[in-house]
Amino acid sequence: MKRRDFLVSAAIGAAGMARAQRAQAPNPAAVPDTIKTLRPMTAGIQPISAGERQDRIEKARRLMRDNQLGAIVMESGSSMFYFTGVRRPADDRLFALVLPAKGEPAWIVPAVTPQIPPGNADVRAYVAGADDPYASLAGALRDRGAGSGRVGIEERVRFAVFDGLRHASPSHEFVSADPVTVGCRVIKSPAELALMQRANDITIAAYQAAFATLHEGMTQAELRGTIAAAYQALGVRGEAMVSFGKYTAFPHGSIEEQTLKEGDLVLVDDGCTVEGYQSDITRTRIFGHPTQRQKDVWALERKAQDAALAAAKPGATCESVDAAARKVITDAGFGPGYKVPGLPHRTGHGIGLDGHEWTYLVKGNQTRLQPGMCFSDEPMIAIYGEFGIRLEDCMYITESGARTFSKQSPAIDQPFG
Amino acid sequence: MPQTTESRQRITQLQDALRKSGLQAVVLEPGPAMVYLTGVRWGKSERTFAVVVPAKGEPTWVLPGFEEMRARELIHAGDDIRVWQEDESPYERIVAALHDRGIASGRVAIDDAARFFVFDGIRKLAPHLDYVSATPVLKATGISSQ
């Protein structure tokens, strides 16, 4: 489960937002010694090569032909970064890429652009307010032999952009580009897996250092700040959602201020970014001595997580992995289905350049697992009013089954394997 | 963040503008327009969270089932809240909401900040509707949608 998107603009109110911002800019004086001794874990990181990006574009072209698409269109975002390595901060002005089935990509960008697309690319600059960027976009499609017929639109393209393009080029049929973008992104290469492995290793190191600072009276904001400081010391950007006690039951946490006390469960979730690739790890551990009830539910959660891991073999459907984890939880009397107390959401999500991406471990998804797919494995147990347990490790599918990037938590008082 | 009465006034103003423009409804994703009209701030994720404001009648909220408690704390504009579970389609809920407000044909406005997949999900289930940009009608109500 990823809180990161929610922290940006979610329903956490002004006070929660201020806390989140403080958490991201830790006060150096308040940084504990265990964090100060951390050193960057970024040595030897291998960015995705130009050759690999070219291979991705070739695969996309093949998928376009298979799906009768003349081209796909995307705005700045994870798909553009995936194919080109270009990422531009959010900006209302159109910054678009046409990736055609035949011929070279074309860029439509504002005339004054700080980050020019690489090499001798076909860049069509427009003056905002004077030129029509959608006419340029339609022109680029025409120039690549995709002047009519089906064109794929990347899933996160804004409606305004689609609307501008369809008015500039009414003869096109605009459909989802998912068969192409997801078709490429859903299978990770060894280079991608290596970057994700690093992101996971760094998250474990950050959590280990931060858990060493747990103390009675600690606020969730303090722990969040400590984890953010740990990431900074480890050389990456990352953050965490933190819940204590009964608030651990809420999948996305709570805006209520929480203070740590003996016997509380501590839930920490989220991850960091390495070369754009995401980690996402949750640990739920006891602070002090656990009750039998906490131990029992924790053990059940671990059993459910194990069941999903065991079920995640190549050829299995995504929904069967969800069903395997859910069965463990419902057999113990929770649920059924999404009912609480129980597992209120799907078992996992795809992960890569986006913290949540295609495809999902959810009922109804009959997509079959293939080597190279990556998922979170996080079938939480939420008991509102009491507590929640979520153990989340991300896994990648190999010919012989699923492997986790991080070692699973062995016990309620041992978050790290 | 608008108070309940202020929010109600803004929605009424939007509904007047919808009728004047010959629009049946507007569909908003989380973003500036949703905040301005309803006070609801929500992070966009792959799980569709939307409000449908019809030209006539109450707004309908469509949101993920397991977020209902968190969402209800924030939603004061309208109490027609329809959840979708993880294996269900949010677009069925949105299209049903349009249907329940008597919208079977004509033009429906889509938030400019809405993502293509949300529009595409609605369009597939209701191909007979004509989807247009919400920018003019939002501007008429004093909202910049981006």
- Residues whose CB falls within 8 Å of the CB of residue A192, separated by 6 or more in sequence, listed in order: A48, A277, A352
Q: Which of A337, A356, A362 sits opposite B45 (nearest CB)?
A: A356
- What is the bridge-based pairing of β-strands B130-133 and B107-110? parallel
A368 or A29: which carries more pLDDT confidence? A368
Nearest CA in chain A to B117: A155
CATH assignment at residue B15: 3.40.350.10
pLDDT (average), residues A249-260 = 88
pLDDT (average), residues A274-282 = 98
* Residues of chain B found within 8 Å of residue A150, distances taken between Cβ atoms: none
A337 reaches B (C-beta below 8 A): yes
Domain membership of residue B31 (yes or no) is yes
Q: Domain total for chain B?
A: 1
Instruction: Please report the pLDDT score of residue A337 as a whole number.
Output: 97
Instruction: Please report the pLDDT score of residue A114 as a whole number.
Output: 60
Determine whether the interchain pair B66/A338 forms a contact, defined as Cβ–Cβ distance below 8 Å. yes
pLDDT (average), residues A41-69 = 98
**What is the per-residue pLDDT across A181-194, written as a single tens digit (0 to 9) for each?**
999 999 999 999 99
The position carrying tokens 């004077």 is: A130
Domain membership of residue B44 (yes or no) is yes
Domain membership of residue B28 (yes or no) is yes
Closest CA to A16 of A282, A188, A312, A241: A241
Whether residue A12 has pLDDT greater than 60: no
Beta-ladder partners of A109: A125
Closest CA to B134 of B105, B112, B118: B112
Share of chain A above pLDDT 90, in %: 85
Instruction: Please report the pLDDT score of residue A31 as a whole number.
Output: 83
A6 reaches B (C-beta below 8 A): yes
B5 or A59: which carries more pLDDT confidence? A59
Q: Report residue A98's pLDDT band, with 50, 70 and 90 as the boundaries.
A: very high
Q: Is A245 in contact with A264 (CB distance < 8 Å)?
A: yes
A with B: how many residue pairs have Cβ under 8 Å apart? 98
Domain membership of residue B79 (yes or no) is yes
Helix axes A318-331, A292-311, angle to 10 degrees: 160
Domain membership of residue B19 (yes or no) is yes
**What is the per-residue pLDDT across A125-134, written as a single tens digit (0 to 9) for each?**
999 889 999 9
B12 reaches A (C-beta below 8 A): no
Determine whether the interchain pair A11/B66 forms a contact, defined as Cβ–Cβ distance below 8 Å. no
A238 reaches B (C-beta below 8 A): no
Q: Report residue A298's pLDDT band, with 50, 70 and 90 as the boundaries.
A: very high
d(CA A206, CA A220): 16
Instruction: Please report the pLDDT score of residue B2 as a whole number.
Output: 58
Instruction: Please report the pLDDT score of residue A8 as a whole number.
Output: 32
Q: Which domain holds residue B40?
A: 4-140
Determine whether the interchain pair A10/B65 forms a contact, defined as Cβ–Cβ distance below 8 Å. no
Whether residue A275 has pLDDT greater than 90: yes
A154 reaches B (C-beta below 8 A): yes
How many other C-beta atoms lie within 10 A of the C-beta of residue A237? 11
Q: Which two tokens stand for residue A1?
A: 């489960």
**Extended strands (E) in A128-246:** 149-153, 172-176, 237-238, 241-244
Q: Determine which of A328-332, B75-79, B80-84 has the lowest per-residue pLDDT on average.
A: B75-79
Domain membership of residue B24 (yes or no) is yes
Q: Which of B40, B66, B116 sits opposite A162 (nearest CB)?
A: B116
Instruction: Please report the pLDDT score of residue B70 as a whole number.
Output: 87
B30 reaches A (C-beta below 8 A): yes
Domain membership of residue B38 (yes or no) is yes
**What is the per-residue pLDDT across A16-32, written as a single tens digit (0 to 9) for each?**
333 333 344 556 567 88
Q: Report residue A118's pLDDT band, with 50, 70 and 90 as the boundaries.
A: low
**Extended strands (E) in A154-245:** 172-176, 237-238, 241-244
**What is the per-residue pLDDT across B1-30, written as a single tens digit (0 to 9) for each?**
456 888 999 999 999 999 999 999 999 999
pTM of the shown model: 0.93
Q: Determine which of A121-125, A155-159, A185-189, B117-121 has the lowest per-residue pLDDT on average.
A: A121-125
Q: Determine which of A232-236, A256-260, A350-354, B86-90 has the lowest per-residue pLDDT on average.
A: A256-260
pLDDT (average), residues A81-87 = 94
Domains along chain A with CATH numbers: 4-30+188-404 (3.90.230.10), 50-185 (3.40.350.10)
Domain membership of residue B146 (yes or no) is no
Instruction: Please report the pLDDT score of residue A142 as a whole number.
Output: 97
Instruction: Please report the pLDDT score of residue A18 as a whole number.
Output: 35
Instruction: Please report the pLDDT score of residue A91 as a whole number.
Output: 74
Q: What is the value of ipTM here, to two decimals?
A: 0.95
